Amino acid sequence: MKFFLSLLAVSFSLALTINVISWFGRPDFFNYGDYQFLAIAGYNDQPLADLFFGFGRALTATALVTSLIGLREWLVKWIERPGAARSYRILVANNSTPLFLLFFLPLLVISPLQEDVPQYVVLVLPVLALYLYQTFWLFPRNPLATLLTPTLAARLLPATVVGAAPSLILFGNRDQYYAFVLYWLFLLLIVTPLFWMLYQQRKDKILQLRGMETALATTSAQLQLLQSQINPHFLFNALNTLYGTALQGDNEKTAEGIQRLGDMMRHILHENAQEFIPLEKEIEYIRNFIALQNLRIQSSPEILIEDAIDECRSQLSIAPMLLIPFVENAFKHGIRLKEKSWIKIGLTCSDNNLCLEVKNSIHPWDHRLIQQKSGIGLVNVRERLKLLYAGRHTLDITQTESEYTVQLTLSC
């Protein structure tokens, strides 16, 4: 309601102002002279006698301008929205905006009542639209084609016909159809080759941005696939741990394990869908995982689990489920319930860096040792590190006769 009242108030003020100005311009005597734009709202020789004179026209103009402003705000949000094609959308917007400003500039000095205004709009606007269509859509989608290529020509012909079609509004008389044909040939044989030459000068930059768009889309799909593989992997191992605890007949430990698993599943459902999460949430997930594993090995005195995990109260962010594969891998391959085993986990962080070190015992003649280097979890985390932390991480994996060590350093 407030918006509509404001619209009415602005329209009333605009109509009254134009009427007063037009009265001083004396259009009845001077025929408006150089001020013909005042005729938009009509002329009232007694503007204060009819306060609502021209209100309908002013309301229409105000509503149109308001709609254009709303459209502009929507376009800005659409162009600036995150995504693979953001850079390319900005490029198109930066090139189209000056062109349309040049298009509307003459309309500010030409009276809408003049007969040449419709001709200007019908003949110039299709040229601008054809430029954007050919330069940023048609030509880039056919980078190896030439103007004489059948595939490209098959799209250029209907595009130029559509661009010339509005001229039929001006030249609708059958005796003047030749004007439509001439305008169409102008678009096809003069305008299109000119735009092709301009495109060739900027071809590399345009194709580079479109290539980045494709690469970013591919990278996003790869990350989603890797995360979808990680979730079932961790759930499977956690259920195996609970199954082993239940076989030992300890209901209290099983209940605690289920609670821990619930917290972990909540982390997977809510945090794993995000691109980055606070580091403290990833650490909380690791602590729950270690506690869940401890339920299974508490009855084995030969097993030593040491963890030195800093609180890391800094504002660091990290990709979800990035650290846990190393910890999970150590428990999976470094623990034997009936043999001497150990796992040592250390995590430190500073303002911008994070360091994770995980060590686990190696058991001789263990055929699963090869799997520790090539399991699903480690393969996925290597790929995610390459995609998300290229040039900002180091991953060192070493092995001795008795110990397997992973050292990861990240610049967050």
Q: What is the pLDDT of residue 112?
A: 54
* Ramachandran sector of residue 410 (left: φ over 0; alpha: ψ -120 to 50; beta: rest): beta
Task: Indicate the length of the chain as a whole number.
Answer: 412
Closest among 100, 13, 10, 18 to 64, alpha carbons compared: 10
Q: DSSP alpha helices (H): ranges in 248-391?
A: 251-270, 279-297, 324-334, 369-374, 376-388
DSSP 3-state of 301:
coil
Read off the pLDDT of residues 171-194 as tens digits, 9 standing for 90 and up: 656 556 778 888 889 998 898 888
Q: What is the pLDDT of residue 356?
A: 94
**C-alpha distances in Å from residue 380, one per residue of 224, 274, 293, 374, 387:** 11, 17, 22, 10, 11
Encode 343-379 in three state secondary structure: EEEEEEECCCEEEEEEEEECCCCCCCHHHHHHCHHHH
How many CA atoms, within 13 angstroms, populate the side-chain half-sphere of residue 52? 2
| End-to-end Cα spacing for the chain | 49
Tell me the average confidence (pLDDT) per consecutive run of 10 residues in the chain, 412 residues long: 82 78 59 51 60 77 82 74 64 73 70 67 86 81 70 85 83 67 89 84 64 54 52 64 68 72 74 79 87 75 85 78 87 82 90 90 64 61 82 89 91 77
In whole angstroms, what is the distance from residue 321 CA to residue 331 CA?
A: 16
pLDDT of residue 32: 46
Domain boundaries, the chain: 1-81, 101-219, 248-411
* Residue (of 245, 134, 244, 109) closest to 199 by Cα position: 134
pLDDT at 215: 55
pLDDT value of position 394: 93
Residue 361 in contact with residue 334, Cβ under 8 Å? yes
* CATH number for the domain running over 248-411: 3.30.565.10
- Per-residue pLDDT at 224: 57
Stated as kind and residue range, the H or E segment containing 100 is: helix 86-104
Give the β-pairing of 341-349 and 353-361.
antiparallel
**CA–CA separation, 325 and 223 (whole Å):** 15
Q: What's the chain's Rg over C-alpha atoms?
A: 35
Burial 78-98 (b: 16+ CB within 10 A, else e): eeeeeeebbebbebbeeebee
Nearest-CA neighbor of 117 among 30, 40, 19? 40
- Res 396: pLDDT: 92
Give the DSSP letter of residue 278: E
Contact 272, 308 (CB under 8 A): no
Bridge partner residues of 358 (DSSP): 345, 406
Q: How far apart are CA 358 and CA 89, in angstroms?
A: 45
Angle between helix 279-297 and 324-334 (nearest 10)? 10
**Whole-prediction pTM value?**
0.46
Task: Report which DSSP code applies to 114.
Answer: S
The Cα 329–Cα 393 span in angstroms is 20
Alpha carbon 27 to its chain centroid, in Å, reads 54
> Which of these, 255, 206, 198, lies nearest to 91 by C-alpha position?
206
The one-letter amino acid at 351? D
Residue in 406, 409, 386, 404 with CA at minimum distance from that of residue 396: 406
d(CA 376, CA 379): 5
**Per-residue pLDDT tens digits for 278-312:** 888 888 888 888 887 787 777 677 888 888 888 77
